Amino acid sequence: MTPLRHKMIESMRQRGFSVRTQQSYTYAVADLARYHARSPQHLEPADVASYFRHLALERALAPASCRLHLNAIRYFYLKVLERKHFDVEVVIPKRAQRIPQLLTRAEVARIVAA
């Protein structure tokens, strides 16, 4: 286990993150490192932004999954590497909006009559 991964896990354990959250966050940061084939501590903001374009466009991850990766990577840079800012321009796909099915006038009338 790399020192950075160990530091990240210890930081999350100290803050009471669930085991599943720890696994998800470490996977997201490791995936970022694999995508660029180098340690995330050496990546520039443009590299991180290109990773999120990859997640949204090439891997077509759901918006919730993209947000999980964003939260994990933001946590890594702010809490583990102790950087002051996370200045990465990231575009997350919007969550699909579900429009409820509307009742017809006849259905409303039947409900009111009941």
Instruction: Give per-residue pLDDT as tens, 32-41.
Output: 999 999 999 9
**Domains of the chain: total:** 1
Give the residue-averaged pLDDT of 86-112.
Answer: 85
| 4 touches 80 (CB < 8 A) | yes
| 95 touches 63 (CB < 8 A) | yes
Residue 97: give its domain's CATH number: 1.10.150.130
Structural domain boundaries, residue 82: 3-113
- How much is the pLDDT for 96? 74
Short-list 86, 77, 68, CA closest to 40: 77
